[in-house]
Amino acid sequence: MNILQRTELDRFLTSGSHDNLFKMWTGDTFMGRARNGDTALRSALISAVTMLAGQVAAPAHQYSDLDISTRAKFAPMVRGIFPQCEQSIILDMLDRSVVFLTPATINTVLEKATWLNTAWNLANIYLASLGAKTLTDDAQAIVGLSEETTCYVSMKYFSNNNPFEDYVIHEAAHIFHNCKRERIGLPATRRREWLLEIDYAKRETFAYSCEAYSRILELGETRSARSRLLSELAEEPMPPDERVDGGEYVDILREAVFARNGWKRIFERCSPVKPARRV
């Protein structure tokens, strides 16, 4: 490996950035250079993660029972929004979409992530979940991230103490407006291209509302219990995202809690406004 290649490796490991033209790598064509560069950068990333993870005590049994029934978690949301004939297909897709970042999965995840920068971010999320030193001091303090229809989740998900947070539901809500119906074998039309049409400006509002409503349903078995939980939520800090209006967020959840089908109400409140029909 020459000096330029070593410099490129160091830049990638410390920042996640790299030369998109892969000029430092060998190959007779761009595709050849890209393939060789990609392999070298991912290999270096996996080696660095293995080394940093090995510096902390992390007994294997600590992660042996980190699992959830994703299908059971997604089922109320899917059944509340989609017609019965589509529910099984959508649940199958969501069931495959969640990948937990554990010692058993991390190498494969880093090898197969579509983008190198995504792999680098996932490496930092994984290292942070172990309490290990991350590749950069500026690594985002997040529980996971999504790429296309895959939701990568940190082991910190299992130790989150906020009763109204559920990262898995939040990201599943985003998958609905990012996944085309045809991709999972559902019929599509020009006006029904995506699983759900969500107003662009309200996508985060939709995801946070689904997340909180899911937790309210899980924690409150009766309407009065859910109403009490809603009151507690309204006293908590609002979602830390400037795209979400706190008042609207609470109002949507209030409608959902008292509606017969709260999921449908959340969807309706976050759908694009239909243009008025001409008379």
pLDDT digits (tens, 9 = 90+) for 218-232: 999 999 999 999 999
pTM of the model: 0.81
Q: Which of 185, 114, 200 is nearest to 152 (CA)?
A: 114
The pLDDT-based confidence of 36 (bands split at 50, 70, 90) is very high
Q: Examine residue 153 and state whether it is found in any structural domain, yes or no.
A: yes
Q: Examine residue 209 and state whether it is found in any structural domain, yes or no.
A: yes
Cβ-contact 45, 120 below 8 angstroms: yes
| Cα 146 from chain centre | 4
Q: Examine residue 47 and state whether it is found in any structural domain, yes or no.
A: no
Q: Examine residue 231 and state whether it is found in any structural domain, yes or no.
A: yes
Q: Examine residue 36 and state whether it is found in any structural domain, yes or no.
A: no
Q: Examine residue 196 and state whether it is found in any structural domain, yes or no.
A: yes
Q: Examine residue 257 and state whether it is found in any structural domain, yes or no.
A: yes
Q: Which of 236, 235, 271 is nearest to 252 (CA)?
A: 271
Domain count, the chain: 1
Contacts of 89 (CB under 8 A, 6+ apart): 184, 185, 186
- Provide the residue range defining the domain that includes 172: 67-270
Q: Examine residue 170 and state whether it is found in any structural domain, yes or no.
A: yes
Work out the mean pLDDT of the chain and round it to a whole number.
91
Res 61 pLDDT > 60: no
pLDDT digits (tens, 9 = 90+) for 237-261: 999 999 999 999 999 999 999 999 9
